[in-house]
Amino acid sequence: MLAEYFDVHVNEADVDAATVCDTLQWCTWCTLQRIYPYYSQLRLQGNEAARDGRLDQAIELYTKAISLQPAHGMHLLLANRSGARLTKHDTQGAVDDAYAALEMAPVTFSTAVVRLV
C-alpha cells in the first residue's frame, strides 16, 4: 500500500510535506505494532527464565529483544539483562548494561541505579 501511494503521489506536484509526514508516521506506527508484541513477548519470557534460574536463557532472550531496537522500553530490557548478568557474577556485563539503561531511562527509573550499588 505504501509503495502504491508513493508511486502515485510522490511525483505529483501537489504533494505537501504534511502528507508525506502523515504517511511516514503511519509506516512507523505499523512497524511498532509488528515489533512491540514480539519484543514484549521476549522480555516476558526472559523474566520467567530469570525467575526460574535459567539465567543464560534469560540473557539470550533479553539480548534478542534488545537487537530489535524497540522505541520504548529499552531501559527495561537492559536493566533486566543487567540483573541476570549480576546474578551470574558477570559484574562487568551487569555494570555496562546498567549504565546503558541509565542513559535511556526516565529520571524516575531507579532499577539501573540499584544494580550499580
* Alpha carbon distance 58, 29 (integer Å): 28
* Alpha carbon distance 10, 6 (integer Å): 5
Q: What is the mean pLDDT of the segment spanning 10-14?
A: 49
Counting Cβ atoms within 10 Å, is residue 46 exposed (0-12), middle (13-18) or buried (19+)? buried
**DSSP structure string for 27-78:** HHHHHHHHHHHHHHHHHHHHHHHHHTT-HHHHHHHHHHHHHT--SS-HHHHH
Q: Which fold has domain 2-116?
A: 1.25.40
pLDDT digits (tens, 9 = 90+) for 31-49: 445 555 778 889 999 999 9
* pLDDT on residue 108: 82
Nearest to residue 111, comparing CAs of 83, 70, 88? 83
Name the pTM for this structure. 0.67
pLDDT digits (tens, 9 = 90+) for 65-83: 999 888 788 999 999 999 9
User: Which is more confidently placed, 26 or 117?
Assistant: 117
